[in-house]
């Protein structure tokens, strides 16, 4: 077997931390100056905040003076004549356009210059090379062409020498069948897919009369997006279909314009976030205060290298885990995992809970491992968890007993009292594009 270099860009990926921080700061300071001079939106924002680029000489200055922005701040200025809301730093005719998912309103427009494209391809090359993409690797990828990344991944793969990449269209039923058939004939090494599509593919394989563990036995790695994987989901995917594969999670993109893929550990532990391209800060979702060395918080990101529509101190509204400890792979950049949308956090008896915490418990029981559930948020600070859930009727006749077991486990694991109601669950909504199931039903909004 041919041997390849370990890192795509060894100089940057293993740059000593101190040096990397200096490079990041230098780019950050020059980015503030650049957006102030070239973007209507930032010029107005900083003028109103009484700050000029000359005031920003250190990270402390930046964190003290530069306002954190949210999607709505940009949306205020969006119009058909000004679709970028003034964030763009070069004229629109010079930009390749992408749009966000728009799950919470008008999609935000983003644009890339030619140089930005090169940077994004570099970023994808580093991340996917780290997962083991090499010349000769065969890949089936499907993560929705609505996003900026799939087309760029094709280019990145070409650059890495990964020529045999097959792109499947949309992540819906008919395409899942196609993906299953293609697996049989194309025999890919890697799959790059959203979580729900992976399930559809397994179902299609069974319908085709195939045994999934056999059909997918040649798959070496599967990279899954959209919903963060619980340890049990990983285990089950391996047992039921991808018996010889490593299962990894990837997420990112959007306004952060970076794409980390967890790959350094067998278990989900975050993908490297390239600090020469972005600055990532964490804030407390409630107080909105910066939490300097926290491991979990709401992600605020700054593109320090891209020039088309840079997002500067942009609140991604995602709850993330960051890992700053040295990584086994030798890369010096921190790792990040996106856990949930930040507004899906709830307070129960003074504790902060996300649906992921409940999901891991429901998955422990065969009767509810595949159950749909929703958490009802009935006040800002609830005294107990309220859950409406389904269960597998074939696996138990005694639903009272099942409820007791679940309640006990919630008490043990989360230290919380709970009320569980069995019933058919219509999840409040499912984002068809990103395949995130919304598991919080906010009753406080209706009461107002
Ligand atoms: Zn690593």
- The answer to whether the beta carbons of residues 90 and 113 sit under 8 Å apart is yes
Whose structure tokens read 């799950």? Answer: 103
Which carries the bigger pLDDT value, residue 430 or residue 30?
30
Domains of the chain as residue ranges with CATH: 10-116+269-343 (3.40.50.12780), 131-250 (3.40.50.980), 345-447 (3.30.300.30)
What are the angstrom distances between the C-alpha of 92 and each of 82, 110, 341, 396?
Answer: 9, 10, 30, 60
User: Residue 285: its pLDDT value, please?
Assistant: 85
Q: What is the mean pLDDT of residues 3-23?
A: 96
Q: What is the mean pLDDT of residues 217-228?
A: 87
Query: Could you report the per-residue pLDDT of 42-65, keeping only the tens digit for each?
Result: 999 999 999 999 999 999 999 999
CA separation for the pair 217, 351 (Å, rounded)? 43
Work out whether the CA dihedral 25, 27, 30, 32 comes out positive or negative. negative
Which carries the bigger pLDDT value, residue 336 or residue 25?
25
What is the DSSP track for 187-255? --SEEEEEHHHHHHHHHHHHHTT--HHHHTTT--EEEEESSPPPHHHHHHHHHHT-TT-EEEEB---GG
User: Residue 168: its pLDDT value, please?
Assistant: 79
Considering just the CA atoms, what is the radius of gyration of the chain in Å? Answer: 23
Centre of ligand 1 from the C-alpha of residue 6, in Å: 11
pLDDT above 70 as % of the chain = 92
User: Residue 69: its pLDDT value, please?
Assistant: 96
Centre of ligand 1 from the C-alpha of residue 270, in Å: 9
Query: Could you report the per-residue pLDDT of 143-176, keeping only the tens digit for each?
Result: 766 566 777 888 999 999 998 888 877 667 778 8
Centre of ligand 1 from the C-alpha of residue 397, in Å: 47
Please state, rounded to an integer, the average pLDDT across all residues of the chain.
88
Residue 431: is its pLDDT beyond 50? no
User: Residue 67: its pLDDT value, please?
Assistant: 97
Q: What is the mean pLDDT of residues 372-381?
A: 89
User: Residue 102: its pLDDT value, please?
Assistant: 60
Q: What is the mean pLDDT of residues 380-408?
A: 93
Q: What is the mean pLDDT of residues 338-355?
A: 86
Centre of ligand 1 from the C-alpha of residue 326, in Å: 8
DSSP 3-state assignment of 17?
helix
Centre of ligand 1 from the C-alpha of residue 224, in Å: 18
User: Residue 49: its pLDDT value, please?
Assistant: 97
CA separation for the pair 51, 32 (Å, rounded)? 10
Residue 101: is its pLDDT beyond 70? no
Whose structure tokens read 């963060």? Answer: 228
Closest among 288, 275, 402 to 332, alpha carbons compared:
275
Centre of ligand 1 from the C-alpha of residue 274, in Å: 11
Centre of ligand 1 from the C-alpha of residue 200, in Å: 31
- Secondary structure element (H or E) that encloses residue 65, with its range: helix 59-65
Centre of ligand 1 from the C-alpha of residue 336, in Å: 11
- The answer to whether the beta carbons of residues 345 and 355 sit under 8 Å apart is no
Centre of ligand 1 from the C-alpha of residue 37, in Å: 37
User: Residue 352: its pLDDT value, please?
Assistant: 84
Centre of ligand 1 from the C-alpha of residue 158, in Å: 23
Q: What is the mean pLDDT of residues 253-267?
A: 75
What are the angstrom distances between the C-alpha of 444 and each of 346, 377, 382, 421, 439?
Answer: 12, 7, 11, 19, 15
Residue 448: is its pLDDT beyond 50? no
Q: What is the mean pLDDT of residues 342-363?
A: 88
pLDDT above 90 as % of the chain = 55
Q: What is the mean pLDDT of residues 243-262?
A: 81
Residue 28: is its pLDDT beyond 70? yes
Sheet of 271-272, strand order: 271-272, 335-341, 314-323, 296-303, 278-283
Lowest mean pLDDT among 163-167, 209-213, 357-361, 376-380: 163-167
Centre of ligand 1 from the C-alpha of residue 64, in Å: 31
User: Residue 447: its pLDDT value, please?
Assistant: 47
Give 433's pLDDT tier (boundaries 50, 70, 90). Answer: very low
Q: What is the mean pLDDT of residues 190-217?
A: 91
User: Residue 156: its pLDDT value, please?
Assistant: 92
Centre of ligand 1 from the C-alpha of residue 271, in Å: 7
């Amino acid at each position: 077997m041919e041997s390849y270099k370990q890192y795509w860009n060894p100089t940057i990926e293993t740059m000593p931390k101190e040096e990397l921080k200096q490079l990041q700061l230098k780019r950050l300071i020059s980015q503030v100056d650049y957006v102030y001079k070239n973007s209507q939106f930032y010029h107005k924002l900083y003028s109103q905040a009484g700050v000029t680029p000359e005031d920003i000489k250190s990270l402390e200055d930046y964190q003290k003076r530069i306002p954190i922005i949210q999607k709505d701040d940009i949306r205020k200025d969006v119009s058909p004549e000004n679709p970028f809301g003034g964030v763009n730093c070069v004229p629109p005719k010079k930009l390749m356009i992408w749009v966000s998912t728009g799950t919470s309103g008008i999609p935000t427009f983003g644009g890339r210059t030619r140089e930005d494209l090169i940077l994004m391809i570099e970023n994808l090359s580093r991340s996917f090379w780290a997962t083991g993409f090499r010349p000769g690797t065969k890949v089936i990828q499907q993560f929705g062409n609505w996003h900026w990344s799939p087309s760029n991944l094709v280019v990145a793969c070409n650059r890495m020498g990964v020529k045999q990449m097959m792109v499947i269209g949309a992540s819906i039923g008919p395409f899942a069948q196609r993906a299953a058939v293609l697996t049989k004939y194309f025999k890919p090494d890697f799959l790059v897919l959203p979580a729900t599509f992976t399930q559809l593919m397994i179902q299609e394989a069974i319908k085709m009369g195939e045994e999934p563990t056999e059909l997918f036995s040649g798959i070496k790695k599967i990279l899954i997006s959209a919903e963060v994987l619980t340890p049990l989901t990983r285990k089950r995917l391996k047992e039921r279909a991808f018996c010889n594969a490593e299962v990894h999670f990837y997420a990112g993109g959007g306004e952060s314009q970076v794409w980390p893929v967890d790959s350094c550990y067998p278990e989900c532990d975050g993908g490297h976030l390239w600090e020469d391209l972005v600055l990532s800060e964490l804030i407390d979702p409630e107080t909105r205060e910066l939490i300097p060395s926290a491991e979990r918080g709401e992600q605020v990101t700054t593109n320090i290298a891209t020039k088309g529509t840079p997002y500067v101190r942009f609140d991604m509204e995602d709850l993330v885990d960051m890992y700053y400890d040295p990584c086994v792979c030798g890369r010096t950049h921190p790792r990040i995992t996106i856990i949930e949308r930040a507004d899906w956090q709830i307070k129960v008896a003074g504790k902060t809970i996300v649906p992921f915490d409940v999901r891991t418990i429901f998955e422990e029981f065969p009767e509810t491992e595949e159950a749909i559930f929703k958490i009802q948020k009935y006040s800002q600070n609830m005294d107990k968890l309220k859950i409406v859930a389904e269960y597998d009727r074939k696996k138990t006749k005694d639903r009272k007993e099942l409820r007791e077991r679940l309640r006990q486990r919630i008490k043990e694991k989360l230290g919380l009292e709970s009320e569980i109601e069995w019933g058919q669950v219509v999840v409040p909504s499912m984002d068809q594009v990103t395949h995130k199931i919304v598991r919080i039903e906010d009753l406080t909004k209706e009461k107002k």
